[in-house]
Chains A and B, each alone.
Chain A
Amino acid sequence: MGVIEAQLQIKSFLNMPLIVRFMANDAKALVEGLHPLERKVLPYIIEKAPLSEIVKKSRLKDIEVMRALQWLENKKLVEKTTSTKDIIRLDANGEEYSRKGMPERRLLEAIKDSKLSFEDAQKKAKISREEFNVCLGVLKKKAAVSVEGNEIKILNNGINALGKKSLEETFIEKLLKEKDAETGSLHPEEKFAYENLKRRKGIIKEDIAKTITASLTDEGKEVRSLLVKTTGKEVFIDRITPEMLKDGSWKKGKVRKYDVRINVPQIYGGRRHFVNQAIEYIKTVWLDMGFREMKGAMLDTSFWNFDALFTAQDHPVRELQDTFYIKNPEKGRLPEKRFVDAVKSMHENGGGTGSSGWGYRWNPEEAKKNVLRTHTTVLSAHTLAKLKDSDMPAKFFSVARCFRNEALDWSHLFELHQIEGIVVDPDANFKNLVGYLKEFFKKLGYDKVRVRPAYFPYTEPSAEVEVFHPVKKRWVELAGAGIFRPEVVVPLLGKDVPVLAWGMGLERSIAEYFSINDIRQVYNNNLKMLRGIKMWGK
């Protein structure tokens, strides 16, 4: 529903009459608050008035009268009583038979001159196989036909039957004429016909009919008589129209009162996705702290995703069950030779940095394999590779997607966002890292932050960041942090400059903020949810 349609609905809801508790002096107020429909209906309720009668007299539609009665009842001016009775109506076959004649009559007609085989009789009578079988039973029971082998022949009773209406036919005619019949008030003949027809397929159906009757309460009587008295003497204005405003006629009438406490239907506006809203917010935090945004490809070679980050080529994170590898193109190109050589010797022997490296033979083919980035740290690697001495000190951030080859379930996504920042500064140290972390998380609303040892493959020292959760009243793990290993920095930057880094996932915080228990709901794009979810409030 767009705004326009919704506004139309609101208008009609505002038109709904005022509901106030009745007091002696309120009769006048109540009359003034009556909806045009109520004004039309109320005069016709004198004693017990059945709905059908009010409809007829007021010349309104059923639904309009029902609505008016409901509103009047809400105001305790009218009492509605509903009585029910069991009724019988024609069903689809019944209606058809009332036009074409009963199948047994058609069958008798077909064979009245000569006996016929079953097939021919059925064809000539234009009835279905099933109908034929039913008719045969019915007619045999009445001794109207006899069956010899595969042939059917009319008997005297049958010829007589053709000359007059059967009880069933009479009953169907009645139902056609009167729309329905009350089960309890059938004559014995009708009852006999009803019992017979009930057993046959789709001729009649049983139903429950509701009869609504309205009667006035004492207050209702008072309001009605006042209404009847004043009708025609005052002009009631329901909606202020442009014409009324132009000619000033709104002043001349009595403006109907609305119930301003009324519930109106909900509308919604255009919305950004709540994840993107959260991302915008996080980005402002980074920008406030002087960070520059990093962007880059989601699909990259293992060289950048793993090797450049000193992830050993036999490390389990590189296995197929964790990482999305690409079928076509399976492999990409390696970058400039200087990066390849530096990364290769770093893995093999530490590249003269004083590190021992991994001590294996580095395989360039392994590094060419294309992957969907498993972390956004790959963006940091690209950034370092492009950074010039004159750019330092520098700070970068990204809020971007990464991928994990996992089955989707209530707590796992295969595409998720990481929030990540790096500080490249020759003078930076672990103390500064803790400083940045405290500032960053303070901006996110966590005043108490602490770090404790952790392990991440590409940072040393590494730290787990815990914040004191103001609602849960306990420490919770929120992010990982550390200083990039020299084995990562040197091949990319050409020298060992401290690179402070920290990062965290986005989706879990989002799920927590919006009380989403099943993480899949974050991306299932249920429009009802997207339209109704609260704004990111931080």
Chain B
Amino acid sequence: MPTITLNKKVFESLVGKKLTLEVLKENISYLGTDLEKIEGNEIHVEVFPNRPDMLSEQGFARALSSFIGAKKGLREYKVERSGEKLIVDRSVANVRPYTACAIVKDLRFDDEKIREVIEIQEKLHITYGRKRKRAAIGIYPYEKITPPIRFVAKNPKEIKFLPLEANKVMDGLQILSQHPTGREYAHLLEDKEKFPIFIDAKNNILSMPPIINSHDVGKITTKTRDVFIECSGFDFNVLSTCINIIVTALADMGGRICSMELIYPDKKRITPDLKPREMKLDLGYVNRRLGLDLKESEAAECLRKMGYGYAKGKVFVPAYRADILHQADLAEDIAIAYGYNNIKEEIPKVATIAHEDDFEVFKRKLANILVGLELTEVNTYHLIDKDMQTKSSCLDAEVVEIIDSVSKDYNSLRFWMTPSLLNVLKNNKHNEYPQKIFEMGTIFKRSIKTESGVEEASRLCVLLCHGKTDFTEIKQVMDYVFRMINVKCSVSETEFRPFLAGRCGRVSVNGEDVAYIGEINPEALKNFELDMPVAALELNLTDLFEAMNK
């Protein structure tokens, strides 16, 4: 979860109230965020990813000041018309089709404000912007730009400008391959024939979104007063919300918000649009969902505490809120304002019948039998090194593999259990013998029977490992298990490479093959660095359970 840092003094002036540490802590927690720590003048808080509007000091303070009752209700933000146009060229349609823009004037930047603006931009990039994939934001000193600005896509070789933090002019491809930020985000423009740029009337390139701004016209300094802000991506609504989040934070810093006219090939839009979204409040739904009995006035008061406007059954959702999709979201905010701690618990008197899965009950029975034989149950991972469960175990099999696993040690799903348990023995060579272990676990194999194309089955694996273990001993274990569950099995001779030839049996129940039993092939033992014989049983519990219930 993203964290933001609040300057206590600035924050208090924004909230409009001086708060003791305790009150601050409690309120932050009940607003639904997490106070991480307080260091001197700095307050570190965690913000949930559904509230990108709280990722700035201004946005956070706005939410908290409503919540504690200092400034309740919908914030009104004035939007002036700048009269400026931004032309969206048809060519961006295949690269990055949408943008939403704004101009904010009269910001007196100092180093602190520059830091804050960059921080808002970065936090939004990471969270709401999905690492610039969904939304990328650019902020520019407006004085250096000659309108109208155009958003166009061009051949990357024709795009030439001095990017931020670089010492020479580069073309689009060079930026992706040589510039550190370019390299980091190059995948976002991979395979694109043309790259998008913002360019002004004097043909100065402002930036190449979503990668980087120009050093000349894309860098805010302490001399900057007015800024041009753009947000580009694939979903106009997302971009519009994103620009709203930024401009309202900048307005809270003292700026004046000015709109721009966006000329798309087929339509015109004006952004930012800070008109609140209207939603009807379904008070019955909210009360049913929360188990409360709120009157309209009480619900309205709760909504105002959360920064909404309310009038005559209508909720006015601030234009910077990205998370209100449904009545359920209003219900949550009402519950938060009401106070989770004020909601009295109540268990309904509803009769339901408990039921443990039958197969799980069967498995427990088996475990108890095996524990009685002084076996130790182990618990291994389903993911395993592919080579370990095939080559090392002397078995050729098609196993289900993982894409880009973090480690080779778990790049496939186990096809059978024995290798997992041999690996346990391998890791326990320093421990006392005899070692007798078992596990009941899941194995994975390709199948057309399931939606995923992979079938899962439960297996029991028993390994006996000590100087004198042999086929007889493992057969005794198996016979005992089958006697205890009152199942008759028959064993026939078979060859299966992981097992020693001549000492491997195929076990069947009701004509159904359910298990392999035998002594492990010394070749496999060598691969697992074991110098102690191992007798093994691998029993398909899913099939056994079915055969038993036939």
Contacts and interface: CB of A to CB of B under 8 A. Distances in A.
A273 interface: yes
Interface in B167-224: none
B378 A356 contact: no
Contacts of A354: 282, 326-327
A429 B289 contact: yes
Contact of B452 (A276, A329, A353): A329
B354 A289 contact: yes
A162 interface: no
Interface residues of B, number: 95
Interface in A244-291: 269-273, 275-276, 280, 283, 286-291
Contacts of A280: 364
A487 B323 CA distance: 13
A524 B356 CA distance: 29
Interface string B281-311: 0100000111110000000000000000000
Contacts of B237: 359
Contacts of A435: 345-348
Contacts of B235: 359-360
Given A326-B400, A335-B451, A463-B340, A486 B326 contact: yes
A225 interface: no
B320 to A, nearest CB: 16
B527 interface: no
A525 B326 contact: no
Given A1-B434, A429-B289, A429-B291, A530 B404 contact: no
Nearest to B357: A293
Nearest to B352: A290
A292 to B, nearest CB: 4
How many A residues are at the interface, by size bracket? 35 or more
Of the candidates B367, B378, B401, B452, the one having the most CB atoms from chain A within 10 angstroms of its own CB is B452
Nearest to B439: A273
Contact of B451 (A275, A332, A428, A530): A332
Contacts of B351: 290
A432 B376 CA distance: 42
Contact of B48 (A370, A454, A498): A454
A440 to B, nearest CB: 10
A446 interface: no
Interface centre among A291, A301, A395, A461 (most CB of B within 10 A): A461
Contacts of B379: 273, 275-276, 523, 525
Contacts of B131: 316
Interface stretch (A147-155, A188-196, A403-411): A403-411
A297 B410 CA distance: 19
Question: Residue among A356, A394, A406, A437 with the most chain B CB within 10 A?
Answer: A356
A425 B355 contact: no
A316 B431 CA distance: 44
Contacts of A290: 351-354
Contact of A328 (B400, B428, B431): B400
A323 B104 CA distance: 41
Contacts of B504: none
A439 B355 CA distance: 19
A167 interface: no
B427 interface: yes
Given A273-B378, A461-B332, A527-B435, A320 B404 contact: yes
A526 B282 CA distance: 58
Given A273-B378, A432-B346, A527-B431, A405 B405 contact: yes
B356 A414 contact: no
Interface in B445-484: 446, 450-454, 456
A451 B437 CA distance: 43
B360 interface: yes
A427 to B, nearest CB: 7
B370 interface: yes
A415 B335 CA distance: 35
Interface stretch (B117-125, B380-388, B512-520): B380-388
A290 B348 CA distance: 13
Contacts of B389: none
A470 interface: no
Contacts of A292: 352-355
Contacts of A324: 383, 402-403, 405
B76 interface: no
A525 B290 contact: no
Nearest to A286: B354
B133 A487 contact: no
Contact of B454 (A269, A276, A287, A326): A326
Nearest to B336: A453
A275 B380 CA distance: 11
A328 B454 CA distance: 9
B373 A430 contact: no
A224 interface: no
Contacts of B77: none
B371 interface: yes
Interface string B325-347: 11111011001100011011111
A403 to B, nearest CB: 8
Given A325-B404, A333-B453, A432-B348, A350 B134 contact: no
B458 to A, nearest CB: 10
A455 B49 contact: yes
A445 interface: no
Contacts of A350: 325-326
B288 A429 contact: yes
Interface in A329-350: 329-335, 350
B354 A487 contact: no
Contacts of A453: 30-32, 332, 335-336, 340
A298 B397 CA distance: 21
B452 A370 contact: yes
B84 interface: no
B340 A325 contact: no
A343 B388 CA distance: 40
A434 interface: yes
B406 interface: yes
A498 B374 contact: no
B456 A3 contact: no
B5 interface: no
Contact of A415 (B325, B382, B432): B382
B307 to A, nearest CB: 15
B291 A432 contact: yes
Interface string A341-373: 000000000100111110110000000001010
B549 interface: no
Contacts of B451: 300-301, 332-335
Contacts of B354: 286-292
A67 interface: no
A354 B331 CA distance: 14
A160 B359 CA distance: 92
Given A329-B454, A356-B325, A435-B347, A525 B380 contact: yes
A344 to B, nearest CB: 16
Contacts of B374: 2-3, 269-270
Nearest to B412: A327
B260 to A, nearest CB: 23
Contacts of B331: 460-461
A316 B130 contact: yes
10 contacts: A1-B433, A283-B356, A288-B354, A299-B413, A314-B130, A324-B403, A356-B326, A408-B409, A429-B291, A430-B335
User: Which 3 A-B pairs rank lowest in CB-CB distance, beginning with the nearest?
Assistant: A453-B32, A431-B291, A429-B291
Given A287-B356, A452-B340, 16 more contacts: A2-B434, A276-B377, A287-B355, A293-B356, A295-B357, A297-B450, A300-B452, A301-B452, A316-B131, A331-B453, A405-B406, A414-B381, A435-B345, A453-B332, A526-B427, A526-B431
Interface of A: 1-3, 269-273, 275-276, 280, 283, 286-293, 295, 297-301, 314, 316, 320, 324-335, 350, 353-357, 359-360, 370, 372, 393-395, 401, 403, 405-408, 414-415, 425, 427-432, 434-439, 450-455, 460-463, 483, 485-487, 498, 523-528, 530-531
